[in-house]
Amino acid sequence: MTAPRVLVVDDDADMSALLARHLESEHMAVAAATGGRDALAALASSEFDVVVTDLVMDEVGGLDVLAAAARCRPVPRVILMTAFGTLETAIEAMRQGAYDYLTKPFKLGEVTVAVRRALDDQRLRRENERLHAAVEEQHGLGRLLGDSRLMQNTVAQVRAVAESDASVLLLGESGTGKELVAQAIHWASPRRAGRFVAVNCAAVPETLLESELFGHEKGAFTGADRRREGLFAAASGGTLLLDEIGDMPLPTQAKLLRVLQDRAVRPLGGTVSVQLDLRIVTATNKDLAVMVKDGRFREDLYYRLAVIPIRLPSLRERPEDIMPIAEHYLRETAARLGRDVQGFDRTAVDWMERHAWSGNVRELENVVERAVVLARQPVITRADLGTEFTLDQFAAPLRPTLATLEEQYVRRVLDEVHGDKVAAAKILGVSVRTLQRRFKEI
């Protein structure tokens, strides 16, 4: 086990030598500095766990040493030695970040106790930092992969909104990582100590969705043989993700709006409302603004949910992220499965860079995992990718022409309005005749 590293500072050489010898006898690695200037040089060249420094010294005093220690990485704990007459200054130094102070004259045993207490605090803080980093890697912003400008803008938005309690609406195609972003928002927020609860509104039958969200009392409906807490109540103190919010039935939307307005939920069959303290994050791959115009989504609910909309870019929009993400999943999967697979050959890279990735990052992860399992050599080839299993049989160009983009957009609008050319023309800002001519072409 490595001995703790301590820096002792006093402009009295005999005092610094005495303290150094004493702490060395306590199995610590000690450096002694005569005066503040020597202390600054020591801090610039070495790492320390604890600094024990006199407060009043010529030229460079204890407060200067404290300020220099605060700039170190990792930051050592600082204990000040002070005479009775400078006690107020020592207390002010603690407000500036000093860990403790010793009033002269003191016994050597008091120094040992103070240093060991500071070391225990240092260990706890570093363990907390390590655990926080592990949580961040598993649940936080570290999981949002990609160095492209689009992805970094998304990460910046997540950081900006995490500290508030404002409702966030995550928009993006399937597989772009909306749930990962919701988790990152939760773990970067003051609510990280609370629960993160996610529900897929499209996966729960309409008849059960209200019970799932709001809970129910015993006997509220046939089969309700006991009271059940809803997900709103379960997430109180934390964050609730309502995924695929665009698939929520209109009657349930009305009840959700009431919950958001009152910040309270009444279980089905109940008479007493339960106050809520939670953050709502919603996600969808649908265009809610179009759904509002079509009467398929409540406008008042939309504005409640979309206080802060964040659009997640598709993988097609950030092709420079494809290979870095693929290499990340390769390392992760190879380590988990114990496979000696180290990279991709040129044929695999060429295919992956040209592929359309309609399933986005989720599809990429699945393709890489399958390739790691199937690979018979340390380098993955195109044959290992199992491209016959992908949804995109023919890769779309990463930079489509304007004509292609226009065609895709017109098709999308027509699909969203169920072929209603009058409504589509209004959205597109063209006449019906122009749209009809365009529609014949596509």
Task: List pLDDT tens digits, range 274-333.
Answer: 888 999 999 999 999 999 999 999 999 999 999 999 999 999 999 999 999 999 999 999
Tell me the one-letter amino acid at 396. A
The pTM score is 0.61
Q: Which two three-digit tokens encode residue 319?
A: 């092709």
Domain boundaries, the chain: 5-134, 141-311, 315-389, 402-441
Range 5-134 has CATH code 3.40.50.12280: no
Instruction: Please tell me the total number of residues recorded for the chain in this structure.
Output: 442
Q: Which CATH class is domain 141-311?
A: alpha beta
Residues 6+ apart with CB under 8 A from 323: 344, 349, 352, 353
What tens-digit pLDDT sequence spans the chain (442 residues)? 689 999 999 999 999 999 999 999 999 999 999 999 999 999 999 999 999 999 989 889 999 999 999 999 889 999 999 886 667 777 788 888 899 989 888 999 999 999 999 999 988 888 776 766 555 555 557 678 888 999 999 989 998 999 889 999 999 999 999 999 999 999 889 998 899 999 999 998 887 898 889 988 888 777 777 888 889 989 999 999 999 999 999 999 999 999 999 999 888 888 888 888 999 999 999 999 999 999 999 999 999 999 999 999 999 999 999 999 999 999 999 999 999 999 999 999 999 998 889 999 999 999 999 999 988 899 999 888 875 555 554 444 445 566 666 776 777 677 667 677 888 888 888 888 887 776 665 5
Q: Which CATH class is domain 402-441?
A: mainly alpha
Contact 3, 29 (CB under 8 A): yes
Q: Which two three-digit tokens encode residue 134?
A: 């592990």
User: In whole angstroms, what is the distance from residue 172 CA to residue 363 CA?
Assistant: 15
In the chain, % of residues over pLDDT 90: 58
Cα 282 from chain centroid?
16
Average pLDDT over all residues of the chain: 87
The reply to whether domains 5-134 and 315-389 share a CATH topology is: no
Contact 230, 213 (CB under 8 A): yes
What CATH topology corresponds to 315-389?
Helicase, Ruva Protein; domain 3 (1.10.8)
